[in-house]
Each structure stands twice: as structure tokens, then as C-alpha cells.
Amino acid sequence: ENTHPFTVRITGPSTSSRGRASVKHTDSDSVILACLCFRHRNRCLYRTPRVCCSICSDTKLKDPFSLAQKDLQNLYEDIKKQLLVSKAELKALCDYYFDGKGKAFRPMIVILMARACNVHSNKEGVLLPAQRSIAMISEMIHTASLVHDDVIDDSDTRRGKNTINQVWGERKAILAGDFILSAASMALARIGNTTVVSVLSQVIEDLVRGEFMQLGSKENENERFKHYLEKTFKKTASLIANSCKAVSILVNSDPEVHEIAYQYGRNVGIAFQLVDDILDFTSSAKRLGKPSAADLKLGLATGPVLFACQQFPELHAMIMRRFSSDGDVDRAWQYVLKSDGVEQTNYLAQHYCQEAIHQISRLRPSTERDALIQLTELVLRRDK
């Protein structure tokens, strides 16, 4: 394995005779959960770790977003070209979220992964047109899923403005999401690689299955956590993981490289959503661009709530009835704030980022690989 000049420090329980849980590098969520269960059982023995993750290097690192900026120029204009329609209203709906104000987080990761894999494969990091197309397609699939999510959740704001379903109504919003998804499928077919088509088709299946999983819950606490993490993968991380895998397939035939790309995307994607779930409790609605406590109001028990339930068993009944009784949302909110649920969820996100770093560090050193390492810190520190 290649080494890299970075270390990630995670402040955790001090080692002493009180004992300490250890987690080896693995992609198994069950091992991570076992670690967290250990921490719960020994809560009285030591404090929850203060969140502290920093990346150290003797060299000045380029910001991941700045590094990918050139390749992402005109991204949204290129997406709009894929959405050519004669009907003015449909065009307005489809263009609504492609206004250049999104973070383009997923395309940025895909671009950096593509270049990192290209350097690893002795291609001098030159970005292939098909790899950039996958970055574009990832943003189209993501946006289509947002349009549909807003209909399902009856959301009224997204990215600081009214949602499509609020402006044009639910029926037209659903059709707009479908059209964006069909345009992404057409762009994917034009790449002409059946393996890549198969990989990215899995994303759409996962999005649907993840949405169905979100409609349910589990009675058993451990099963509930596994359900939550699997749903998180399917709804958020699968798109990132499989997009990273797709760009690696285009330049390298080694399954090990494909797995590295996939596992990096998977772990970063899960960490990203865990932090998103934290922000629902810690960030203001103005910063988020959407209402805070939105998940509780939708009846969803995310990481902070599930951890808080370990300290406040009263939450169990609320979770099972999806916070539907009067006062449930406010009481659950207070229980989370009184617990260490936010800290525990952040600690879990750190574990996933650590595994992402372990995976990507197996590639040959490059500026883009190092930027992907640095990105894990940005994921943990983001506030919106």
C-alpha cells in the first residue's frame, strides 16, 4: 500500500485500565456499531470524546472545490443542454435547481476521483470526456431525487427558495423529476459502456429502496441502527460510491481499484449524511436553506435521536409512533439536546471518514488523491 503524508487525529476515550474499544479498518457497519455499543455500555466510565479531526501535512493543500473548479466550469449549462424541451413550462421546471447555486459536491468528488484513478493508472491525470459526463449525470440523478423527495415530504423550501412542488404543484414536480432522470439515463447510455450503465443503474434502485426503508422503523434497537445506516447508504451514499466506481472502471480494469473508489465514496457518503442529520439539530434554518427539525417533523429518527434513545428510553415509544402525538417533536428535540446523541453521531461520522482515508490512501499519491483525503475533514466540519 502507498503511504501518504497526512494523519487524521480523532480524540477518543483515553487508554487506561478502564478499557477501550478498538476498530480495525473495515467496511462493516456492524463493527462500527459494536464499538458504539461498547461506548454506550461504558458511558459511566468515561466521557464521550470531544470531536477533533484534523489533517496534517508539511505541504500546502489545494482546496478540493478549487481543484475541481476548472473541470466543473459550465457544468450546469451542460446539464441544461441535456434537458432540451420545446415546452417552456417544463423547461422552467427542469432548469429550476440547475441555477449554479448548488454545492456540486457529488460532481466534485467524481472529478477528483477520476483524476486520482487516472494518475494511479499512468494516464497522467487527464480527465476523460466520459468521466466528466458521469460527474454531470451524478448531479442530475441527485437533483431528480431531491425533486421527488420534496413531493414525498411536502417540503416548501430547498436551497433557500420555494420547492418545485410549491411553485408548480406536486403532479408537475413528479413529472419534472422523472424527465431529469430520463435525461440522465440517456446521457448514461451515450457513454457506451455497459458495465458503467449497470453500476449507475444500481443507484436508481437504491434510491427507491432507501425511500421505502425510510417509511418504516425497527422495534429492536440494534436492528434500528442497522436499518438507519442501510437506508443512509441507499438514499445518499450509493450515488457517490457508484459514481466513483464508474469513473474508475473507465480507466482501469483492476477490480481492486474499482473497490477502492467505491469504498471511498461509500464511507464519505455515509459520513456526509450523518453530519447532515446532526445539522438538523445544530444549525439554523437560514443556514440550512430548509427548516430545522425537519426530520423529526417527518417522523424520522436519525442518528442523534437513536443515540439519545439509549439515555432516554422515553424516546422509544415516540420513535415507533413517528413523533405523531402532540408535543412529541418538541420533547424529542429536548431529549436529543440533553443527551450526547449529537456527539456520538459525529464520532460515528469520524469513523467513516477514517475508513475513507484508509481506502483512498491505497492509490498512488497525487494532488487529487490528497484533496480527497482533505475532503473528509471538510465533510466533518461543514455547517450547512
**Residue pair 354/52 in contact by the 8 Å Cβ criterion:** no
Nearest to 68 by CA among 123, 101, 105, 102: 105
Grade residue 216 by pLDDT with cuts at 50, 70 and 90.
confident
Grade residue 221 by pLDDT with cuts at 50, 70 and 90.
confident
What's the pTM?
0.85
pLDDT of 166 above 90: yes
Lowest mean pLDDT among 22-26, 57-61, 63-67, 317-321: 22-26
* Pairing mode of beta strands 53-55, 8-10: antiparallel
pLDDT at 99: 86
Mind listing the pLDDT tens digit for each residue in 55-77?
A: 444 345 678 999 999 999 999 99
- What average pLDDT does the chain have? 85
Grade residue 52 by pLDDT with cuts at 50, 70 and 90.
very low
pLDDT at 39: 52
Mind listing the pLDDT tens digit for each residue in 9-18?
A: 333 433 333 3
Go through the domains of the chain in sequence order and give each one's CATH number: 28-381 (1.10.600.10)
Nearest to 263 by CA among 247, 242, 292: 242
Instruction: Return the DSSP state at 290.
Output: S
